[in-house]
Structure 1
C-alpha cells in the first residue's frame, strides 16, 4: 500500500462509519466526527480518533471524506463555523458523498477549488454492509488531479469506482438517476408484498418465487427480508427517500420533465413518514399499505387489536 494518509471522515452514520472503519483497516490515520456519540465511540474503539467538530477532525489532514445527509449539511460541515475547510492541509482533497442536486455539487466544487483544494463529486451506493466491507460502488467525477489524490481512499472503501467525467455534478446526476430507480423499486416491492398478502399468499413463498423470476429487483431481494422478519430498524430510513425523491422531483420540475412514477413513489414515502415512520427502515412503506388494507404483517399488531 502507498503511504498512510491522514483522513477526516465527517459523518459517522451507517455509511460513514463503515467507510471510516474500512480506511482504518487499510492503514490510514482516521479522525471522524458526528453529532451522535455511538459513531464516534465505534471509530475510537477501532483505532480512529473521535473529534468534536469537523474542524478538529480535519486539522492538518490531506483528505476529508464527507458522508452527511444532504447539500445543506455538506455546506455546513465544510464551510460553516468549525468547518473542515478551515483546517485542512493546503491542497487537500475533499470527497463529497452525500446525495445532492448536481448544481449543489458544482457550487461546492467551485468553492473548494477557489480555496486551493481538490474536489471529487463521489456519491456512493451499496448500503451499510458494503460500506463496512469496503465494497461500495462510487459514482465519481472531478479533475484528474482529484482522482489521483483519491485513489488510496477509493481502493479502501469501494469495490467499483465509476469514473464519469472531469467535472463535479456528473457523479451527482448519476446518483439521482439511481435514487429514482431505488425509491420506485422499494415502493413497488412493498406494494407487491402487501398485495400478495391480500391474496392470501404465503409471503415467504412469494419472496422465494419472485426472487427467481423476472419481476425481481435488487431492492426486492434486499428489502423484503426486512418485511418478512418484521424488522424495521433503519438500514436506510424513510426520510432518505423523501429527501432524494424530492430532489428528483425538483430537478424534473425545473427542467419541465415529467416524472409521474417517481412522483407516486415520493408520495408513498411522504405518507409513510407522516404516519410516524420517517426514521424507520424504508421498507416501512409496506406497513403503510398494510394499515390502509387492514392487514397484518410479520411482527406487526393486527389491525383492531391494539391496546390503549
Structure 2
C-alpha cells in the first residue's frame, strides 16, 4: 500500500531510507536544511523541503532520522515541526539514537496529539540504508507497527519487535552502540599498533579479516583507513554522543562500563584534534598523534 511519507533528515541513513521508500512506490518528501541533500533527493524523483513544517498536508507517516532527541523533538513538535502537517492517527517512526527516557517523553507528546509512535532506532550503515536493508529495533503498540508496516517493509529487512513498552528500542540501540563504539576504537588501536610495529597495513588487514580476531567494524572501518577515505558515513562526533548515552544510562543503573568510557575518551580526543566531522574509523588519528605513525592514506 502506497503511503504519503515524510523523511526528516537526509543524512547517510535518512537519504537511504528516503530513496528506499521512493523505490517502493511511496509518495515521499525528504526534509533537510542542506540544499545539496535536497537536490540529491529531488534528482532521484522525490519531493524535497527545507523544513518539516513544509511536509504535504495529511502526511500519513514520518520517519525521523536526525542526530538526537532534541532534534527529533524540534523536527516533530517545534515551531517548524511536522506535527501540524500530519494526518490524525499518523505514525511517527522515531529512529534517532537517544536515551530511553527521551523516547518515552516523545511518545507521550505524540500520543497526546493523537499520533501513533514507534521507538525505532536503526542500524546497518549507509550502504544497507540505500538498499532498504536496515535493521530496526522497534517498540510500540500493535497499532503503531501495523500503521508503519509499509514503511518498515521498504527500509528494512529485519524488524525486531521488542515489545509494546516505549524505551526498550532505545535501550537496545544504546547497548548496540556500546559494542559498535568499542569495536571501532579497538580496531583503530590494533591497526595503529601493527603499523607502529612495522607490519604492512594491507597485509595486517587481510590477515585479521580472514581470522578469528575480525569484527564487522574492523573490516568496514579499517578498509577506509587503508584508502585514506575519511568522508563521514558515521562521524567521530556521533560516537562522542552515543557513548555518552551509554555512560549516562549505565550511571543511572549504578552499572560500570569501563570499556565504553575509555572508548568515549578516545573519540573525544579525536574531536578535540579537530576530527569530529571525519569518519569515525579515523579515531586512529589519536594514536597517530601520540606515536607519529604514518597512516596508509597519508600523502
Output aligned runs, 1:9-28, within 5 Å. 9-28=7-26
| Offset, 1:59 | 2.5
Output aligned runs, 1:108-187, within 5 Å. 108-187=106-185
Aligned match of 2:276: 278
The SS at the match of 1:32 is strand
The SS at the match of 1:236 is coil
1-structure distance, mates of 2:57, 2:76: 12
1-structure distance, mates of 2:83, 2:28: 17
2-structure distance, mates of 1:76, 1:246: 21
Aligned match of 1:305: none
Deviations 1:22-46 (A, max 9, x none): 0000000001111111111111111
1-structure distance, mates of 2:168, 2:57: 29
Aligned match of 1:241: 239
| Offset, 1:58 | 5.0
| Offset, 1:211 | 0.9
2-structure distance, mates of 1:133, 1:283: 22
Aligned match of 2:105: 107
1:96 correspondence with 2:97: no
Deviations 1:145-197 (A, max 9, x none): 00001110011000111111112111100100100000000000000001001
The SS at the match of 1:231 is coil
Greater than 3 Å deviation, 4+ residue runs: none
Which segment is superposed worse, 50-59 or 84-93? 50-59
1:45 correspondence with 2:55: no
Aligned match of 2:65: 67
For the 8 Å contact 2:227–2:296, the answer to whether it is kept is yes
Q: Where does structure 2 lack aligned partners over 5 or more consecutive residues?
A: none
For the 8 Å contact 1:9–1:57, the answer to whether it is kept is no
The count of aligned residue pairs is 299
Aligned match of 2:199: 201
2-structure distance, mates of 1:210, 1:32: 40
2-structure distance, mates of 1:140, 1:59: 26
1-structure distance, mates of 2:84, 2:241: 28
For the 8 Å contact 1:224–1:283, the answer to whether it is kept is yes
Which segment is superposed worse, 268-277 or 39-48? 39-48
For the 8 Å contact 2:63–2:94, the answer to whether it is kept is yes
1-structure distance, mates of 2:23, 2:259: 41
| Offset, 1:51 | 1.3
Among residues 175, 188, 191, which one is paired with 1:190 in the alignment? 188
Aligned match of 2:251: 253
1-structure distance, mates of 2:237, 2:121: 18
| Offset, 1:299 | 2.2
The SS at the match of 1:150 is helix
| Offset, 1:60 | 1.3
Aligned match of 1:79: 77
